[in-house]
Structure 1
Amino acid sequence: MTDETAASLGDEVLDRMLRGGLPRGQATLVRGGPGTGKSTLSMQFLDAGVQADERCLYVTTEQTLDDVADSFAAFPFALDDDRLDVLSLHATPGVTLEDPEGDDDAMTLQRLDDDAAVGGTMSFGEYTRELTPATLREEFQRYEDYDRVVVDSANGIAGFTDTHTYRRVLLDVIATLTDRGDATLVFTAEEGGDDSVGDLLQYAVHGVVSLTRDRIREDNHRFVEIAKLRGVDHDTRRLELHIDAERGARAVPGRRSQPPAVKTHGHRPIGIDGFDRLVGGGVVAGAGVLFEHDGTANVSTFLGSFLDAALARGDRLAVVPTIHLRPHGLETILSGFGHDVGALLADGRLHVVDLIGTWDADRDGVHAPSSGEGVREAFGAIRPDDAGDDDTALTSIVNADAYVNALSAEEARELRYYEESQLVRPTDTLVHVHNPGTAADEVTAFLENTAEQVIETWLSDTGLQYVHLRKSPCGFVGTTSLVEYLETEPYVAVQGPPSDRENPMAAESYPDEYPSGG
């Protein structure tokens, strides 16, 4: 979205999560428990409007004007600017203008208006009217000329009628301010309780920003998440929300991965656009990649894409077969991409290091070691030390579970160190395939620790497959994407991460010794 269609929240990262800011002319709910930052974030939204020369209104339903002034005194908000009006609007029991002798328990609408600045003259301090749907609608019609309006909070005017009528009134308020007045409207609401105001509002508004507090190792942390934003490909990840007097409310981290200048690797795209974007342009090169699965998710098609992309680059292939890459399986996968396994083996472009005994050891390019030392000898034959000017990159797909089950955990660790220290060059690709459910926890922890990039895929209880980037020096770390299978190449599609690039991608430059791309 552009400045014409989005209203900034006053924080670069939050605006990026929202694709520019809150949608103009629409209503957004900011909901959360006590102390999560609802009021601060809302006032910051108005302050950003003031800086953009927009007319802004802050309506508090729970504080006096002096309370508002005290609450925000420490922040760099322009509270005394003529473009910001502050109103205290309370729904409280009391005597009404319409019936001065009436019941003291009648709900009344009381307005305290500073007419321009916080702490000014309360020129409407005696104004009370019976609080009804009609008077509340009439009150909000007064605000339709503002560019930005905050109602903090919707809970403060919720107790005057039944749930159905209150929801109808909220819809009328939204229509009055956004349709008739074209204002960008923010409601705040507390979490919790049956039929809570937040629950009522979340279905009526265009967007929902959720604020929470969680304990991280005994320390309290605030979090922000864009729970809903109609028609916008927004960032769905949860970030921390930091609040301080100097900068107000800001989402962190702005970047979850290292900048290219400090990286020691490149990356290799595999031809699945959503996947390549998710992991930052492709799997890392020159270091280990761990591809974890749950034993039920389809892995073969991803492996086929890894191998097809490597062949397109001119790489030599080494495969330590998984159960998915037995002879018939590998032949079927590669033939789907237009490759002939027999020809690749005969030409020396494909090598199989078979630890599970499913390949004919007499075939060209097939190695059948029975020990860790035999595996090292096989890789030594695939890429001999005396290869001279042969700088062909090597892509290896390794069944890490075969290392552990056919050999031992200790030999598997030694082979992993060998790969990293002696086998892998900066232009190589090394992918370990592992099912954590088949190995001891310490084995999985070791594989994850030694990998530069950890990618997970699994099948949910509903039968949907997902892929998640758990660890990586580049890409959208922490993002989960849906997997869909196709009738044509590359036979699989992965839901793209948020379209606004915030992490290293293939287009960003890398040190010359660690080239990237296809």
Structure 2
Amino acid sequence: MAKRNKSSTVSTGIAGLDEILRGGLPTSNLYMLQGAPGSGKTTAALQFLRAGVEAGESCIYVTLSQTAAELEAIAVSHGWTLDGIRVEELSTSGTVNEADDQSIFLTADLRLDETRKAIEAAVEKHKPRRLVYDSLLEIRLITGDSPRFRRELIGFKSFLAKQDVVALLLDTQTAGNDRSGEEVEGLAHGVIRFDKSLEEYGGVRRRLEVSKMRSVPVADGYHDMAIREGEGVVVFPRIMPSTAPEIAKPQLIKSGVAELDEMFGGGQEAGTTTLVIGQSGTGKSTMSSLYATAALERGENVALFLFEERLETFFRRSEGLGMELRQFHKDGKLVLRDFNPNEISPGEFGQIVQEAVTQNKSRVVVIDSLTGYLSSLPHRDKAVRDIQSLLKYLARSGVLTMLIVAQHGLLGQNVGIDVDVSFLGDTVLLLRIMEHEGRLRRNITVVKKRHGPHDLNVRELLIESGSVSVVAYNPLPDPK
């Protein structure tokens, strides 16, 4: 038998959940994993046991609700095997065949006794370090009342504690569950809940909550999660701004256009957020390409996330302005991702951005556009709060973040989001279009800058083939 792991925690097999738990599950305890059918409990349980197998531990999957063949099918769907995991199939059906022509129907008490003895015998024989019990729903249905169910769990917990087993008990929560009696969650050292909801549009949204974990300062609240083929359950811990390494001295970040930098009092500060607001065609995305190119040419890394434009469209538009970015992308200096907003949760997006900063050391981050991102989410006000936490994290990390915000219509003036996002920006760059003598002119103005002086004058933004420039605004002639 493999040596017992003396670590104070054991991995759940899910990296994001381990992060939320500050390393994993405390050893030699009993835990409950609750959730509706299809929420990912079985997949997560297999990941928990596979992590034990990788650590050289003996692992048992006790199943009252699924067959070994069904578990094997789930594993195969992810490219896994059950090698190293012992599956103990038990039955609570109430019959024991003693002969081909005879069946003895057991009472509820006898069924509980037979089930308990079978589990205890398997544990004593194979000495597992990890055990999954699937599921408590069957035991709850046999007992018929919560006090009896609670007594069963107390006895099971006492037995496992003597065997030094880390046990994960799956509890299927259904509308028919009897929750009127004494609650049993208090018996477990920790309780993790999987939540699954279907919005009016888009895919299923999955979240988890560590509703209880003794002696561990977990990151509480909901965290987004997903079930991915080949990966299983993937968890995206909610962004915690306090975990970002705070920079000592902000630096000025320049655009490469001297006149534009002058408008910002010499440049934009690292660790701030700039909202670039304007109608269609005013040059919002051009601003993002401009700052990205300047940073890359200085030797800095950049991350740019597109929600309304394909990668090839972005490259061609930038090349038309004389900004060659393909090679930076190939070299890994430019992290460039385009998304279908309906297929990504705020938690997953936050993790992708965080990794671009921590792993790729990106110093400029552009989200183009915030309007497209928020418009695809069912709860935009909550998404804005998620974005705010992300922006605080980026600010502490010394990143210049640019959020592209579109206005309604070609010449409209209302921001195309039904929630107020103006508080997100330390700086607001306003781009507008006006008509003069049959020609459209792009205006650019810095209307807000929290840090340092800025130019309040309105200037003209010239976007021409191969170049971008900012010039003093030539006012209209005074009519006489």
Tell me the TM-score normalized by structure 2: 0.48
Please identify the structure whose Cα radius of gyration is greater. 1
Tell me the TM-score normalized by structure 1: 0.45
